[in-house]
Chain A
């Protein structure tokens, strides 16, 4: 469940950007990673380190909020910078789609290595923010408080994002641009602004996910931490139907469960094979994913 929630949150970023730009934002995994680093630095900045006692009560709420918000800010900034520096110049030049992909890969390597060179290649540990206590036991498995916290926070974020896109003016702009960028532009939608907002939204959600997951659950992060989750989240987005917000959520949870199931059934070494095989089967029968491409335009 925890993993599924994280996949879903990261998948949202892929789906939003894909819906609007028809672009696989390959560097999104690094946005996720930067969010986690942002949380870590924020904890260091307030002097909260390993020696510090695990907080309770209001202090706990404050620390978790700090982890989430710092992650969001760091990731949001990086996502917007990414759009500005690695994608917008390409859009201006009318570059082919492959060029975006390579630029994204380049940006991804650049970000990873920047962190590796500055902070080293070993994982940096977080201080413990949430005490490990078992909330309840279900089917013989312990469900721990910190995991519930992460899943609940993730669901709140998902609902918030879904509402934002469905209800607000900016959200309408995103949907309009996703359906038909040219018409949206004619109708007075500022496409560039919408694209920046889309990247920002994806970044904020991924940053929160990065802070929650690496900061609270894993309690360590390193320069290439984002990579594998990026691939999984992208898979989740495709599984659900890329460009479709609910599809990303469904795909994320489905992939999380599939992997868990695969690991239990066949052993940890085969779980990726299991998940990818299911993906191929799903795509053979539903070529645009479980829920199809609702946010994306229907192809003429």
Chain B
């Protein structure tokens, strides 16, 4: 019996100790957050990057993060009286990881706005909470058409590029202008984005007089898409449109070319990544990739070209997909803070009331629901192993 009583005491002691430690930790955390970076003479605020830094989608997240980083560096260099800190929250791009990160940035009172979340899925998972916290978000890459309607009456959602539906319409417009009357075969990998885009283009293009030669679904996890390649070959289309991401797009393009299919290969923004060219190798040549984003390349002009050069200097690599959009998103938030909107409600009101902003990627005007007014879709050729701007939908 006495052993058991001693045991009880020991357990009780441990419980008490743990409770105290935990309580102390909890308080510490809050103190940390309140005093975060408050020791310099300049006024200090934060914005947050929310997106994948690790995991399978890390490439894309880093493009965005670096775009935002560049904007913050330039802002801090120009504005001595305000210091902006970019805090980074790694969601791996996964909806199930998003709420955990949300709990962190939502509690950090120094954070006034978000560049992100990067993907549509993770945005869906946190949008109700963001609205609840009144935390304004500007995504540089979440293009799902349904996002603004998830939370009725929401105000926090914004994005600096057109959605998938607009991209689909843009691609159909392109087909009508450049491939009038030509037939199209569609392939997607059954993910939400992929399927939505492929079906969007199919509907719009068929209506525009580009007959559809059928649709094939691939399993992205496979390495060989024999069934789809055979179907595409048998359909003898003039154009093949693929809805999906760069890794699968690259493999598909390569296998199509190897199988002797010579139809024009077109894909959407998910394929606009160096990974596409790496995966398709020499067979990537001649592919055409669309994007609602305005990719900064060596051959860009104007402000976008300056941004591309600065980016190259800062990170020793070319800007990636959405880097320029993230650069703009961060700048919108920081301009708001500079204009004295230093609380979450004020910054939200500022972004909501923003008339127009001349970004490096495009002129940015928001609709009431947070969508971009402009619907321009940009097209890039794969030429000599690099993406080169071809045209955009404003040109026709």
A213 to B223 CA separation, bound complex (whole angstroms)? 10
Is A2 part of the contact surface with B, judged by Cβ < 8 Å? Answer: yes
Contact of A228 among B216, B222, B225 (CB under 8 A): B222
Is A288 part of the contact surface with B, judged by Cβ < 8 Å? Answer: no
A267 to B281 CA separation, bound complex (whole angstroms)? 28
A217 to B254 CA separation, bound complex (whole angstroms)? 11
Contacts of A272 in B (CB 8 A): 219
Is B224 part of the contact surface with A, judged by Cβ < 8 Å? Answer: yes
The reply to whether A268 and B216 contact each other, CB–CB distance below 8 Å, is yes
The reply to whether B230 and A121 contact each other, CB–CB distance below 8 Å, is no
Is B218 part of the contact surface with A, judged by Cβ < 8 Å? Answer: yes
Is B95 part of the contact surface with A, judged by Cβ < 8 Å? Answer: no
A268-B218, A271-B219, A272-B219 in contact; A220/B279 too (CB < 8 A)? yes
The reply to whether B279 and A123 contact each other, CB–CB distance below 8 Å, is yes
A12 to B225 CA separation, bound complex (whole angstroms)? 25
The residue of chain A having its C-beta at the shortest distance from the C-beta of B223 within the complex is: A218
Q: How far is the CB of A268 from chain B (nearest CB, A)?
A: 5
The reply to whether B223 and A267 contact each other, CB–CB distance below 8 Å, is no
Q: How far is the CB of B166 from chain A (nearest CB, A)?
A: 26
Is B58 part of the contact surface with A, judged by Cβ < 8 Å? Answer: yes
The reply to whether B221 and A228 contact each other, CB–CB distance below 8 Å, is yes
Contacts of B282 in A (CB 8 A): 50
Contacts of A141 in B (CB 8 A): 230
Contact of A123 among B55, B221, B247 (CB under 8 A): B247
The residue of chain B having its C-beta at the shortest distance from the C-beta of A214 within the complex is: B223
Is A260 part of the contact surface with B, judged by Cβ < 8 Å? Answer: yes
Is A125 part of the contact surface with B, judged by Cβ < 8 Å? Answer: yes
Q: How far is the CB of A7 from chain B (nearest CB, A)?
A: 12
The reply to whether B219 and A217 contact each other, CB–CB distance below 8 Å, is no
Specify the main secondary structure of chain B where it touches its partner: helix
Contacts of A125 in B (CB 8 A): 278-279, 281
Is B101 part of the contact surface with A, judged by Cβ < 8 Å? Answer: no
A35 to B66 CA separation, bound complex (whole angstroms)? 35
Contacts of B56 in A (CB 8 A): 121
Q: Which residues of chain A from 249 to 300 have a CB within 8 Å of any chain B CB? A: 260, 263-264, 267-269, 271-272
The residue of chain B having its C-beta at the shortest distance from the C-beta of A224 within the complex is: B56
Is B259 part of the contact surface with A, judged by Cβ < 8 Å? Answer: yes
Q: How far is the CB of B231 from chain A (nearest CB, A)?
A: 9
Is A122 part of the contact surface with B, judged by Cβ < 8 Å? Answer: yes
The residue of chain A having its C-beta at the shortest distance from the C-beta of B187 within the complex is: A268
Contact of B227 among A140, A218, A220, A260 (CB under 8 A): A260
Q: Report B250-275 CB contacts with A as 1/0, cut-off 8 Å.
A: 11001000111000000000000001
Of A128, A264, A267, A271, the most chain B CB neighbours within 10 A belong to: A267
The reply to whether B59 and A122 contact each other, CB–CB distance below 8 Å, is yes
Chain A positions within 8 Å of B, measured between CB atoms, are: 2-3, 50, 121-123, 125, 128, 132, 140-142, 213-214, 217-220, 225, 228, 260, 263-264, 267-269, 271-272
